[in-house]
Structure 1
Amino acid sequence: MNIQAYIESGILEEYVLGTVSPQEKQEVECMSHIYPEIKEELMRTESALEQYALKYQTPPPASLKETLFAQMNFDEVTKPESAEPISTDVSALEEADRENTIKILPVTEQIITEEPVATESTVFTNESNTGGTVIYPAWAKFAAAASIIFALLFGWSVLKTSDLKKQNEELAASSETLKSEVDEIKKDAEYNETLASLYRNPNYKVVKMAGLEKSPQSAVAAIWDTKTNEVLLDVQNLPAAPQGKQYQLWTIVDGKPVDMGVLDQEFSKKLLKMKQANPGAAAFAITLEKTGGSPSPTMEDMFVMGKV
């Protein structure tokens, strides 16, 4: 298995972000147990995301505590005027018929027919001229306060979740950008390493073609295998070919130009394989021709040239 290719596929970043399918999640966990390199990269990715989250975390607003307590109302609740007054005379209750002593009050009200227990309820005295005492359970106030706190915390949690999701999306985009940059750097490194090995190989003759009056800043190197006569082009600097045009390589053999093939339109940081060279080639040159090439070079559109 190509472990490096698996790491570079981006699945480890998706696993940490929680965007993989259950099957992919199981696969990553299995691979991390088998291959230490994958486990190490997974831990490094998790650490990087954790550091990012810690760096950009947002603490709860300082005013949240004051806002919650400001909305808690512990004012005394009075009995509605429409409610029927209830006598608290214990002796009268004992003499009356027990079936007539219990009356239905509005919700959350409780009639005292026996000795009240102060530790479980809060007693409020009706201030109307009808007299009577109504007990409201202590838990009613706390239930109302708890519902307010829950609503506020729920709203705050939704906002934080939205922010975290946005941060995760930004982090994923940043990871993709970073991955592309790393891939580009690796590609350049591999290309330079290949060039260095060719330049050091004694079997290759390097013919440097310098820019002419048409394009002084241009530079191209022809890497010629003197044993097989194969030619590779390293385009170091050459303007992009305009629409309908294409660069063409030539060798000069016995004073005459010989076609060596056209260059790919995308030639930057690529080794272009051209036609085999004639062993008697005295120079290499590149001209700008119509797309597909020309049987003879356009001398006024010659961009680079170099002697063997």
Structure 2
Amino acid sequence: MDIKAYIESGILELYVAGQLSENENQEVYELLRQHPELLQEVLEIEAAVLKLTAAASPGAHSFEAIKANLKDANNPKVVKLAPRKTNWLAYTGWAASIALAAGFFWTLNQKNDLEQQLQTADIENRYLETQIETAKSDLATTKNLLDILRDRDIISVPLGGQGNYASSFAKVYWNKSDNTIYLDAEGLPDAPEGKVWQVWSLTLNPLTPTSLGTIDDFNSDTNKIFTMANANESQAFGITLEPEGGSESPTMEQLYTLGVVEVNPS
């Protein structure tokens, strides 16, 4: 882009005066953001407009000149004021400067409003893009989960409520081919402050619990489906409520759900 030729074209003066269309204003605005030389030129034009406006305003000297022709206090003689010609050229220049300054301020406001609108639109677009990406990700995750749960070889283990927690329930989907379980814990309440849910793999004879880990983000998770590694030869699964950080062995008084893996006859 020929910066010098663009400056000499006069379009920046029209931009400052607010004489361009909305599309032209936007084009100039984008060029100002890209080329510091053009922005500096606009700033100099605006400064010149303000200086011209101040210089063209009728000054106090006009009043002093009139007052000097009034009658002197020590001389009661009335002095006639000579008729003066109106300097229409000066007033025309002054009016033009005022109009130019007004156009400048209007354009400045328009630029600020446009910039704010563009920023708002940009934020809204980014938010919408994020929402779309999140929806796509959630959809892909859901589809993948459904494919897993519908696998004919996956083992489904219902976990029923125990003792005082009979209303609790959960379900484990165990994929032995990749040593993974998918825990649907929708039937558990939020963990109290200072507590976490801990998942256990159990062998029954003798009864041997092995921790599969704690669910630290249970309360903040929306779908309550969690993935855990399980390389154990599990015969049952249980969930207990434990102190933050988990326990080495399950607190049986806080055993909420328990389910036995059904053995398929060979």
Structure 1 length-normalised TM: 0.48
- Whether contact under 8 Å (1:219, 1:238) holds in the other structure is yes
Unaligned runs of 5+ in 1: 1-16, 23-79, 83-127
Q: Percent identity?
A: 26
For residue 263 of structure 1, give the secondary structure of its aligned residue in structure 2.
strand
Corresponding position: 1:262 with 2:224: no
* Alpha-carbon separation, structure 2, partners of 1:286 and 1:129: 106
For residue 152 of structure 1, give the secondary structure of its aligned residue in structure 2.
helix
* Alpha-carbon separation, structure 1, partners of 2:140 and 2:94: 68
- Whether contact under 8 Å (1:260, 1:274) holds in the other structure is no
* Alpha-carbon separation, structure 1, partners of 2:179 and 2:81: 119
Q: How big is the shift at 1:261?
A: 1.8
Q: How big is the shift at 1:154?
A: 1.6
Name the residue aligned to 2:136: 186
Residue 240 to residue 135, structure 1, CA distance change in 2 (3 Å): closer
* Alpha-carbon separation, structure 2, partners of 1:272 and 1:251: 14
Corresponding position: 1:276 with 2:231: yes
Corresponding position: 1:168 with 2:118: yes
Q: How big is the shift at 1:184?
A: 2.9
Instruction: Let me know the Cα RMSD of the aligned residues.
Output: 3.8
More helix by share: 2
For residue 165 of structure 2, give the secondary structure of its aligned residue in structure 1.
coil
Q: How big is the shift at 1:196?
A: 0.5
Q: C-alpha offsets along residues 160-191 of structure 1, whole Å, 9 cap, x if unaligned?
A: 22222332333333334333333332232122
Name the residue aligned to 2:171: 221
- Whether contact under 8 Å (1:233, 1:274) holds in the other structure is no
The letter for the 2-side match of 1:261 is L
Superposed, 1:192-207 pairs within 5 Å as: 192-207=142-157
Of structures 1 and 2, the larger Rg is shown by: 1
Residue 129 to residue 147, structure 1, CA distance change in 2 (3 Å): closer
Q: C-alpha offsets along residues 192-246 of structure 1, whole Å, 9 cap, x if unaligned?
A: 1121111111221122335554383x55332212445543334445444445433
For residue 250 of structure 1, give the secondary structure of its aligned residue in structure 2.
strand
Aligned pairs, how many?
Answer: 187
* Alpha-carbon separation, structure 2, partners of 1:215 and 1:184: 36
For residue 250 of structure 2, give the secondary structure of its aligned residue in structure 1.
coil
* Alpha-carbon separation, structure 2, partners of 1:250 and 1:215: 18
Residue 178 to residue 129, structure 1, CA distance change in 2 (3 Å): closer
Unaligned runs of 5+ in 2: 1-28, 35-64, 68-79, 262-266
